[in-house]
Amino acid sequence: MKRFNSNFKGWLFMLPAILIFSLTACSDDDDNGNGNGDAAASVTIKFDHGWGPNHLPFAINTALMHPATQEEITFTKLRYYVTNIELHKADGTVWKEDESYRIVTVEGNSSVQELTVPNVPPGEYSAVKFMIGVDEDRNTSGAQEGALSPAENMFWDWSTGYIFFKAEGMSPAAPNGQFMYHIGGFEDPHNAIRTTTIAFGEQRLNVVAASNPSIHLKVNSARFWHGGISLADVFSIHMPGPNATTIADNWIGAFRFDHLHN
């Protein structure tokens, strides 16, 4: 019994260590896979939606006059994919985010939407690059998770492909009083995938450990009708084609640099 007793005391002594081991042994691996560990920071990208080149106030469910066509437009929906985000350094090196798929939804009274890009390696960045749309690979490789889930209703079920962006609303200029732009298409000649590289000029985004700097972009929501496109002519787009690629060309021009917060 004495012998057992001493063993038992020793066991008691080890109990905290055993408990700690048992708690950590089953926990998920916290490594983010980038190998950055604690050094990684997150970068916020702010999409500040305005109206026209002078960035007048923009909101859903608000009647607006298009500065070029003078047509009255009320948005009821504005959603778009922002994917394949990259941060570029002045020396030409590029950091690409893995699994970089998000949807920006403009809703309620807020015209500013924020995306947070986690695990950005430290460095001084001179530009951000992203895609409006979904790359061909994810359009052709079956069921996807997250922002690419078909449950997001940004997906054509009858003719496979993602709807890269949706702009819907009302306009007295449209024949039936409504407009619906569902823009997508990943195959030539009607490929509507567009990317933009937005440089920060002389400024640099300083990413240091545990920081959260932000990139402030201005988005011209009137840009769909750039070049004088009238809602009387183009009010319904629901499949890939020449109208979709024209609107895609216009929309990618909506994004421009405003300022950084380091």
Partner 1 sequence: MKGYIKPSPVIILLGMLLLFACARDAKEENTNVPLYIRQPAHFPKPVYTFDNNPPTRSGFELGKRLFFDPILSLDQQVSCGTCHAASAAFADPRSTAVSKGVFGRSGLRNTPALANLIWYPHFNQDGGINHIEVQPVAPINDSLELGVGIANAVRILQNHPEYPGLFERAFDSDSVTAARILWAFAQFMGALVSDNAPIDAFHRDNKPLPEKAMRGKVIFDESCAGCHSGVLQTDFSFKNNGLNMGSNDIGRAEVTGNIQDEGRFRVPSLRNVEYTAPYMHHGQLNTLNDVIEAYSTSIAAHPNLDPNLPVGGFDFSSQQKEDLYQFLLQLSDQTFVNQSF
**Site for partner 1, rule CB under 8 A:** 3, 6-11, 13-14, 18, 21-22, 25-26, 139-145, 149-153, 155, 157-160, 239, 241
Q: Which two tokens stand for residue 173?
A: 């200029």
Q: Name residue, tokens 């009083």.
A: 177
Nearer to partner 1, 85 or 244 (CB): 244
Residue pair 147/103 in contact (Cβ under 8 Å)? The answer is: yes
Cβ-based nearer residue to partner 1, 133 or 213: 133
Contact 128, 87 (CB under 8 A): yes
Q: What DSSP element (H or E) covers 5?
A: helix 2-25
Nearer to partner 1, 152 or 258 (CB): 152
User: Measured from the CB atom, is 14 or 199 closer to partner 1?
Assistant: 14
From first CA to last CA, the distance across the chain in angstroms is: 68
With respect to partner 1, which residue has the nearer C-beta, 20 or 63? 20
- Cα distance between residue 123 and residue 208, in whole Å: 7
CB of 79 to partner 1, least distance (A): 14
Shortest distance (Å) from residue 234 CB to partner 1: 16
Question: CA 224, CA 246: separation in Å to the nearest integer?
Answer: 9
* Close Cβ partners of 94 (under 8 Å, ≥ 6 residues apart): 86, 87, 88, 129
27 vs 70, beta carbon nearer partner 1: 27
Rank residues 77 and 129 by Cβ distance to partner 1 and give the closer one.
77
**Least distance from partner 1 to the Cβ atom of residue 103, Å:** 13
Q: Write out the DSSP string of 194-206.
A: EEEEEE-TT--EE
Residue 30: CB minimum distance to partner 1, A:
17
Radius of gyration, CA atoms only, the chain: 25
What's the min distance (Å) between Cβ of 237 and partner 1? Answer: 12
- Nearest Cα residue to 68 out of 243, 223, 219, 255: 223
Among 205, 199, 194, 239, residue whose Cα is nearest residue 81: 194
Query: Taking Cα atoms as reference points, which of 237, 230, 148 lies closest to residue 184?
Result: 237
Nearest distance from C-beta of residue 142 to partner 1, angstroms = 3
Q: Least distance in Å: CB of 168 to partner 1?
A: 17
